Amino acid sequence: MELNDYQRAALGTAAPRDTPNEVFHLLLGLVGETGEIAEKAKKVVRDRGSDFSRWDTEDLKKELGDVLWYVAVLADHFDLSLEEVAAANVAKLADRRDRGVLGGSGDVR
């Protein structure tokens, strides 16, 4: 599936853009779903000796899908396609790689 095809499909299950507080809802949902992944990672560390080969990848796939849904719908609220977001991200990271600044901190490197 292409990213923009996914985004269009995700929008078919989203609330209308003009729903009160919808952007806030989407932001909180994205943080919540990301937190669920972090919580499950914590349990791999705590209960499985940090052996991530024992992570339930089917469960991870579902949680990553939830994150992707929120990203897709949130991007649409600002008239961004997932293709645009992905292309810009890859270009940014390639530029950092080429300049030898992939590691480190800060948005502008």
CATH of domain 3-81: 1.10.287
Give residue 1's pLDDT: 93
Q: Kindly tell me if the per-residue pLDDT of 105 is higher than 80.
A: no
Three-class DSSP labels, the chain: CCHHHHHHHHHCCCCCCCCCCHHHHHHHHHHHHHHHHHHHHHHHHHHCCCCHHHCCHHHHHHHHHHHHHHHHHHHHHCCCCHHHHHHHHHHHHHHHHHCCCCCCCCCCC
pTM: 0.90
Give residue 103's pLDDT: 83
Query: How confident is residue 102, by pLDDT bands cut at 50, 70 and 90?
Result: confident
What are 35-90's pLDDT values in tens digits? 999 999 999 999 999 999 999 999 999 999 999 999 999 999 999 999 999 999 99
Give residue 107's pLDDT: 73
